Amino acid sequence: EFRIRKTCILLQETNDKLTDISYKCGYENMSFFHRQFKKYMQITPYEYRKSIFKSVHPFIE
């Protein structure tokens, strides 16, 4: 889905809050956004962002 791909890009390239990103991607309901993201990506938006950070900064916890 296009909105999930856009979400992934924003999670990687910005430090925006998850609520702001969900709104920018067309989700008005944070709970629905969270469920949709997890459905397609098998992890939460927070976990996705955390995994990106760890891959870029492997020695920082």
| Residue-wise pLDDT tens digits, 24-54 | 999 999 999 999 999 999 999 999 999 987 6
Pure H helices in 1-61 = 2-13, 18-24, 30-41, 45-56
Task: Tell me what pLDDT residue 55 has.
Answer: 67
DSSP 5: H
Question: Residue 42 is part of which domain span?
Answer: 2-56
Q: Do 11 and 48 meet the contact criterion of CB atoms below 8 Å apart?
A: yes
The reported pTM is: 0.82
Q: Is residue 61 domain-resident?
A: no
Task: Find the CATH number of the domain harbouring 40.
Answer: 1.10.10.60
Task: Tell me what pLDDT residue 52 has.
Answer: 86
Q: Is residue 35 domain-resident?
A: yes
Cα-Cα-Cα-Cα torsion 19, 23, 28, 31, nearest 10 degrees, comes to -30
How many domains does the chain fold into?
Answer: 1
Q: Is residue 24 domain-resident?
A: yes
